[in-house]
Amino acid sequence: MRFDVTILGSSSATPIYNRNPTAQALNINERFYLIDCGEGTQQQMLRFDIKSSRIDYIFISHLHGDHYLGLVGLLSSLHLNGRKKPLTLFGPPHLKEIIDIQFKYSETTLHFELIFYPTNAEKAEVILDNQDITVETIILDHRVACTGFLFRQKRRLRKINKEKADELEVPVTYYSILKRGVDYLTTDGQVHPNSELTTPADEPMAYAYCSDTLYNESYFKQIANVDLLYHEATFAHAMLDRANETHHTTALQAGEIARLTGAKKLLIGHFSARYKTLTELLDEARSVFPETELAIEGKNFIIGN
């Protein structure tokens, strides 16, 4: 099962040339889960060939413009491009009001159902549980109500025992079915139990998305041992006072968080426009957590498979 994330935007409040405001497209089993939707997200999806028609869920962390200003444009385009299937949106309660007023004055009635679930920034809870994953909110500590999102795979795929499969001349087209645990039925009606042809799946993987927040231990336990942690790192640690004042995290703190929570890998993003190059931030996070990467536009990171 595919489980990876493509970065569509990495900048904080103000965009700079080549850095767009926050948005990420999570591909889980060939369905897209869009996390945040800063201005220009739909253009970024065109640029990086992420089919917006395949978005089934959108998650908005909070109501600062750099995290949601691309939403109405994206919804409009989906509408104009003939979308019929429902779309589920999670976000702060007032987000609906912001969308409604704009569609009211543009006299737009969406051709698809927009199902809105308001998030609660007071209490972490499971907000989605479908066949592939569960999603929990993470209570963050920002200037306005803000939640992160924790995506946990429900199951992973069993692994093909290639030697045995070759021996039984299993057609390659059958592999995806075997990986899901189904027994193998030969053309002459013989049944081979799945366990003969596959080995157990690895543990389910998890992705935690934490933006925007002050360094605050309250959510550390919840995100323990995730396979990939995205954490904002707006400033270098030299600007700790500014980070505290604006309720943001420094790159050093992001590295610390990854280390303390036992993350396998860390992605940092939401960079302040003052950093024209990002080496300083990357080096700083790596000084405490070597497995750190920059959440740069267009880059894809595999969480599991």
| Residue 171 touches a second copy, criterion: CB under 8 A | no
Question: Does 212 carry a binding-site annotation?
Answer: yes
Instruction: Say whether residue 43 binds a second copy (CB under 8 A).
Output: yes
Binding to a second copy by residue 118, rule CB under 8 A? no
- Tell me the DSSP string of 69-120: TTHHHHHHHHHHTT--S-EEEEE-TTHHHHHHHHHHHTT---SS-EEEEE--
CB-based burial label for 30 (10 Å; 0-12, 13-18, 19+): exposed
CA contacts within 13 A on the Cβ side of 46: 6
Q: Distance between CA 193 and CA 223 in Å, rounded?
A: 37
**Positions in 48-107 near a second copy (CB under 8 A):** 63-66, 69-70, 72-73, 76-77, 80-81, 92, 94, 97-98, 101-102, 105-107
Find the DSSP H helices in 94-204: 95-105, 162-167, 175-179, 194-197
Of the pair 38, 304, the CB lying nearest a second copy is at: 38
Instruction: Please indicate if the annotation marks 62 as binding a ligand.
Output: yes
CA-based R_g, the chain, Å = 21
CA distance 206 to 91: 21
Residue 66 annotated to the active site: yes
At closest approach, how far in Å is the CB of 63 from a second copy?
A: 4
Active-site residue, from 36, 66, 132, 227: 66
Binding a second copy by CB under 8 A: which of 28, 40, 268, 303?
40
Which residues contact a second copy by CB under 8 A?
Answer: 13-17, 20-21, 39-40, 42-43, 46-47, 63-66, 69-70, 72-73, 76-77, 80-81, 92, 94, 97-98, 101-102, 105-107, 143-144
Q: Mind telling me the catalytic residues?
A: 66
